[in-house]
Structure 1
Amino acid sequence: MNPTETDIPLFKRLRFVLVETSRAGNVGSVARAMKTMGFSDLVLVAPRCDDLLHDAEAVAFASGAIDVLQGARIVPTIGEALEGCNFAAAVSARLREFSPPVWSPRELSNHVAGDASLYPALILGNERVGLPNAIVESSNVLINIPANPDYSSLNLSQAAQVLAYECRLAAQGENRTQEGVGFHGEAASLAQIEGMYAHLEDALVAIGFLNADNPKKLMPRLKRLFARTQLETEEVNILRGIARQMMRGRE
């Protein structure tokens, strides 16, 4: 990593990703929530609104954050939305059987502000159905905002505001000295980790440990296991080397 990259503040590293958003007004409100807290990187995955960045409702709800709204990028897939990111945090009120580790917004904000090598993405889903399980299972952590258990559903922009606020607080103190953290290698990118999972799955099939026709829940469980480790690039390379050797042994 270039030494100057360690000086990049969280305000420039954190990306907000909205998946299949239905209401243009919610996108405008998220843009406003981001700008009030100093963030600007917004990516929209397959939004369900036409001409979203110029929609009258989106513009009205964005208020003074038109620059964030109209600077947003629209992409067709989550993979494209996460390009350049090496840490993904899925946001959901609904816990999943095979979710990655569950963190609070404060745990997330302290983690990403305290490690300048991380280029994190906060992923928020559709207003009605939330995030698909596949996106949650492939994320590093699942963010659950503590709320009234009898009514825990937050509006999309409300959730974004809570997260942006916590990240701003952490970013303002991100130059604090961390004690006892030891050496950290470069965090693996999400693309590197997904490639490792695919390679490992092929190897497990090759040695007969995984039945491709009846995989059950093995890969989601392995993804959850590895998500707890916060994989580094060198560790991903080691795991791919192991998978490669496993496959050679079956040739």
Structure 2
Amino acid sequence: MPNSLFSRLRFVLVETSHPGNIGAAARAMKTMGFSELVLVRPRFADALRQDDAIAFASGALDVLENAKVVETLAQALDGVQYAAALSSRLREYSPPVVSPREFAAVVAPRADLQAALVFGSERYGLSNDSVMQCQALVNIPANPAYSSLNLAQAVQLLAYECRVASDSGPADQSASRIGFQGELASAEQVEGMYVHLEHALVELGFLDAANPKKLMPRLRRLFSRTGLETEEVNILRGIAGHVIAACKK
């Protein structure tokens, strides 16, 4: 099915250290029916061809062979409208926190939604900047005294929840309660809006570029709770444009 979640969900691994973990993640994905894998700056440039990656993939070589390697998370999220960062560590200014099951319930029913799951490195996880490029933060419920999962285990768990949500069919969609729903804005469109809005706030004198404090992270958190649509992003950018023009007069 061209619009099934299996063709709409991308798995992104950021700065992965061990090629074996990449291969194991590919195997976990294929076991649950997913195939789109993107690596952001893996430790080894030839990580996809490393012996450990091939060995741990164990039958999922097609996932490795079709995987992409990019330099930035923004490139990895190209075309994505709803990205979720995986982290066991909660952040003060993170986007909304959801469970794996809640994430799956959001992305499975929306046939028009391009989604991504973003996993950090084995040693450091994800940076705050990477988390803020996402619209949600997935926190896996685990033993609070030892909440560390292996990368491939985390991939397997999320892939499983997404498969179950896809197989169970559309659930109660809260979006249907708000009437017409437009196309969700892509990650690139939302990032462009933040840049434009920040420029407008600086021109207005509301934001001190030399001492920005936490204003933009707070605004990011606010907007990440809304699920911005393309038209809404365009409206906000239009407002920002008029503010900039008015300040220059």
Q: Determine if the TM-score, normalized by the shorter chain, exceeds 0.5.
A: yes
Structure 1 partner of 2:50:
55
Q: How many residues align?
A: 246
Preserved contact between residue 7 and residue 116 of structure 1 (Cα < 8 Å): no
Is structure 2 residue 207 aligned with structure 1 residue 197? no
Output one character per residue of 1:168-225: Cα deviation in whole Å (capped at 9) or x when no partner: 0011123457474332110000000000000000000000000000001000000000
Secondary structure, aligned partner of 2:42: coil
SS at match of 2:199: helix
User: Which residue of 172, 185, 191 corresponds with 2:182?
Assistant: 185
1:249 is paired with a residue of what secondary structure?
helix
1:106-151: CA deviations, max 9, x gaps?
A: 0000100011121001000000000010111121000000000110
Moved more, 189-198 or 171-180: 171-180
DSSP 3-state at the match of 2:108: helix
Letter of the 2:100 counterpart: P
Measured in 1, the distance between the counterparts of 2:80 and 2:243 equals 29
| Cα distance in 2 for residues equivalent to 1:171 and 1:129 | 31
| Partner residue, 1:95 | 90
How many angstroms apart in 1 are the aligned matches of 2:131 and 2:47? 25
> 3-state SS of the aligned residue for 2:155?
helix
CA contact (8 A) 2:105 2:171 kept: no
Paired residue for 2:237? 240
Establish whether residue 46 from structure 1 lines up as the match of residue 41 from structure 2: yes
Counterpart mapping for 1:170-181 below 5 A = 170-175=165-170, 178=173, 180-181=176-177
The one-letter amino acid paired with 2:168 is: G
* Secondary structure in 2 matching 1:109: helix
Structure 2 residue matching 1:60: 3-state secondary structure: helix
Q: Which residue matches 1:221?
A: 218
Task: Tell me, yes or no, if structure 1 residue 147 matches structure 2 residue 146.
Answer: no
Distance 1:176 1:229, change over 3 A: closer
CA shift, 1:69, in A, is 1.3
Unaligned runs of 5+ in 2: none
TM-score of the pair, normalised by structure 2: 0.96
3-state SS in 1 of match to 2:247: coil
Find the aligned partners of 2:76 and 2:224 in 1 and give their Cα distance: 20
Aligned-residue Cα RMSD (Å) equals 1.3
- 1:98–1:220 CA contact under 8 A, matched in 2: yes
1:44 touches 1:75 (CA, 8 Å); kept in 2? yes
User: TM-score, length-normalised on structure 1?
Assistant: 0.95
Tell me the residue number matched to 2:64.
69
1:3 is aligned to: none
What SS does structure 2 have at the residue aligned with 1:100?
Answer: coil
Q: Does 1:250 align with 2:247?
A: yes
Change (3 A) 1:217 1:177: closer
